[in-house]
Amino acid sequence: MLIRSRHRETSAEVAFNLFNRIFLFLLSLIFLYPFWYVVICSISSPSALRGSVGIILWPKEITWAGYRVCFNNPNIWMGYKNTFLYVLMGTSISMVLTTLGGYALSRPNLMLKKPVMILITITMFFGGGLVPTYMLIRNLGMINTRWAIVLPGALSTYNMIVMRTSFQGIPVGMIESAKIDGANDFRILWSIVLPTSKALLAVIALFYGVGMWNSWFSASIYLQDRELFPLQIILQEIIIKNSPISAATVGGALDNMNQDDYYTRTLLQYSTIIVSSLPIILLYPFLQKYFVKGVMIGSIKG
Amino acid sequence: MSNVKAARIPKGQMGGKSFQHRLGRDVSVNKYIYLMLVPVVAYYIIFCYVPMYGILMAFEDYRPRTGIIGSPWVGLKHFRAFFSSDYIGRLIRNTLLINIYSLLWGFPAPIIFALLLNELKGNVLKRYVQTASYLPYFVSTVVICGLLRSFCASYGLFNSIGALFGAERVDLLSKPEYFRTIYIGSDIWQGVGFSSIIYIAALTNVDPELYEAATIDGAGRFRRMLNISIPGIMPTITILLIMNVGSLMSLGYEKIILLYNSLTYETADVISSFVYRRGIVSGDYSFSTAVGLFNTVVNFVLILLANTVAGKVSETTLF
C-alpha cells in the first residue's frame, strides 16, 4: 500500500481514474433507474406520463388508484399465500435432500460413493428435457397439485456439491469422537455438522427460497386451478397476458376501450410489480450479502 | 483375519464373495449414511433418469393412453420430419445467433466491470456500485419481461428517450430486428453485476506483491491491469468460457415465451420455445421430444469440444 502511494500517478492515470468513477456511477444509475421508473409509473396518472419525452425523474399527478385496485384484488392475496406456502415447502424439501446428500457424499471410504457420484454427474450434462419431464409429472398424477411445484427441481446438484465440499472441511476428529461416543450419522449431522455450517445453510436456503419465489414456469404448465396459483402467475396475467400496452399497439383497441379502464389497468400493472417484489426488495440488503457469500463459497471450493 | 472373514461367507459363492462381502460390510457399517442417500438417489432416478427413459418417445408415435411400451415404434420419422421442415433453419439460426451474440457481448461484460471496479480505490463508491449492480439479479423473469414490455411500448421509456433525438415512436417488441438486442441487452443488465462477483473474488486472490513489484518497476495502471490482473483471473475466465460455450445451444425459453409474439418469430423463435409450443401447448409429444433430443445431443457435443479445445490451449479444463 505504501509503495503504491509513493508511485506518482501520471496525468493519464488521473484522467482514467476520474473517468472510471463517473462511468461506474452512471452505470449504477442504469441498474437502479428502471425500479424508480416503476415506482413513478405506479403513482402517476398515465395520461400525464403518456406524452413525455426523455427521462422522467419525478411522479406527476399523483394517484393511488393502482394500489387501491391492487390491494382489493383477492387474486393477489391468494397468490401471496400460495407463494409463501411453496417457498416454505420447497425450501424445506430442498434443504433436507441437499443436506442428506451433501453429508453422505462427504463421508470418506463409502464403497458406493463413486457410482452415486457418476449417477449425479451425468445429470449435469444430459437430461430428458421438457416434454418427457412433463409426461413424468402427468404419469405421477401430480398435475394440478402442489407437489408438481415443489418436487421436480427440488435438488440442485450444484448446491449439493458445494455443501459436500464444505462438509469435507470439518475436522475428521470431531466426527470420529462422536462416533466412538455412540452417536449415529443422523445425530452427527444434526448436532455437529449442521451447527458448524449455519452460514452455508443460510446461503443455500436463500438460493432455494428466492428461486422458488421467482419461479413461474412449472406453475404455468402444471397448474390449472386458480386456488393453487403462485404470485408470479397472477403477476403474469396482470402484466403480460392482458397487457393494455400490447393491446394498444394492435391498433384501435385503445379507442374502443374505456379510457378510465385503460388507465386503471396500467396503474394496476405497475403497482402489482411493486407489491409482488416488496418482500425481495425489503430483504435485499440481507439477501445480497448472503448471495455474494454463496458465490464465493462455490467458486473457491467447488 | 482372513479366516474369520471366510468363515462368515456361505459356501459356493467363491467368485464374487470378496466384493459382495466387502459391500455387505460397508453397507452394514455405514447403514445410516446409505439410508440418507436413499431419498437423494430416488430423487435422481425419478426426476432425472425416468425423463431420460422418456426420450424413447422421440422414436415412437407416443400416446399417453398406451405409454412408452405400448406405443408404436416409428424409428427416425420425427427426426426426418424436423430436418426436412421449413422452420429448422430459422430455429437453429435464431438459437445460435442469440447465443453467440450473448457470448460475444455478455461474456466480457462482467470481466470488464470487475476490472473497472477493481481500479476503484474509494471503498464507498465501490460498495455502492456493486450493491446497485446485483439488484436486477433478484427480480423474477416475469417482472423483467413486464418491465421490458412497458419500456418497449410506443409510449414507454425507450421511446421517450428516443423521442429526445427525434426518433419515431414504435412498439419495439413488434419489430423482429430489435428482438435480439432487447433480449441480450436485458440479460446483460440483469446478470452483469452478479456474474462479476466471481471475477472480483478472483482478483482479490491475486498476490498483492506482484502489483507492488510491478509498480516499483514503473508499470502504470494499464500495464498492471493487462499484465497482472488479467493473467491472474485467466483460469476463472477459461472455466466460465468453457461452460458458456457448452451451453451455446441450450437457451432458456422462459424469457423468450414471455417476450415474443407471432410478429417476431422470425428472429425470436428458438429451439426450446418451439419445443414448448409444439410439445406442451399443442400436445405433439413425440415430435417435440425428438427436437429436444437433437438439441441436447448438440449441447453435449459442444461442451465436449469446448473442453477439449480449452485443454489444448491452456491447462484448465472442466473435467
User: pLDDT by residue (tens digit) across B136-149?
Assistant: 988 899 999 988 98
Would the pLDDT of A300 be above 70? no
- Please give the pLDDT value at position A171: 86
Angle A234-A240-A244 from CA coordinates, rounded to 5°: 115
- Please give the pLDDT value at position B16: 55
- B259 at A interface, C-beta within 8 A: no
CA A267, CA A262: separation in Å to the nearest integer?
9
Is the Cβ pair A21, B236 closer than 8 Å?
Answer: no
A58 versus A51: the higher-pLDDT residue is A58
Rounded to a whole number, what is the distance in Å from the CA of A97 to chain B's nearest CA? 6
List strand residue ranges (DSSP E) for B35-88, in order: none
- B66 at A interface, C-beta within 8 A: no
Would the pLDDT of A168 be above 80? yes
Q: Which residue has the cell 446428500?
A: A101
Assigned superfamily of B86-313? MetI-like (1.10.3720.10)
Nearest chain A alpha carbon to B121: A17
Would the pLDDT of A49 be above 90? no
- Please give the pLDDT value at position B288: 93
Give Rg (Cα) of chain A.
26
Fold classified for A78-226? MetI-like fold (1.10.3720)
Give Rg (Cα) of chain B.
27
Lowest mean pLDDT among B5-9, B83-87, B243-247, B308-312: B5-9
Would the pLDDT of A299 be above 90? no
B122: left (phi over 0), alpha (psi -120 to 50) or beta: beta
Residue A162: partners with Cβ closer than 8 Å, 6 or more residues away: A102, A200, A204, A294, A297, A298, A301, A302
The dihedral sign for the CA sequence B22, B28, B29, B33: positive
Q: Which of residues 73-112 of B touch A (CB under 8 A)?
A: none
- Please give the pLDDT value at position B37: 94
Is the Cβ pair A104, B36 closer than 8 Å?
Answer: yes
Judge whether B146 and A240 are in contact, CB under 8 Å.
yes
| Predicted model pTM | 0.85
Rounded to a whole number, what is the distance in Å from the CA of B4 to chain A's nearest CA? 21
Instruction: State the best of A93, A131, A301 to mutate against chain B, taking most chain B CBs within 10 Å.
Output: A131
Would the pLDDT of A297 be above 80? no
User: Which residue ranges make up each domain of chain B?
Assistant: 15-75, 86-313
Nearest to B279 among A54, A131, A153 (CB): A131
Q: Which of residues 216-245 of B touch A (CB under 8 A)?
A: 216, 220-222, 236
- Please give the pLDDT value at position A298: 67
CA B75, CA B56: separation in Å to the nearest integer?
10
- Please give the pLDDT value at position B218: 75
Is the Cβ pair A30, B189 closer than 8 Å?
Answer: yes
User: Which residue ranges make up each domain of chain A?
Assistant: 2-71+241-281, 78-226
Residue A100 CA to its chain's centroid (Å): 23
Nearest chain B alpha carbon to A27: B129
Is the Cβ pair A128, B64 closer than 8 Å?
Answer: no
DSSP letter (8 states) at residue B56 = G
Lowest mean pLDDT among A254-268, A275-289, B270-284, B291-305: A254-268
Is the Cβ pair A246, B154 closer than 8 Å?
Answer: no
Rounded to a whole number, what is the distance in Å from the CA of A264 to chain B's nearest CA? 15
Rounded to a whole number, what is the distance in Å from the CA of B125 to chain A's nearest CA? 8
Residue B17 pLDDT grade (very low, low, confident, very high; cuts 50, 70, 90): low
Is the Cβ pair B300, A125 closer than 8 Å?
Answer: yes
Would the pLDDT of B36 be above 50? yes
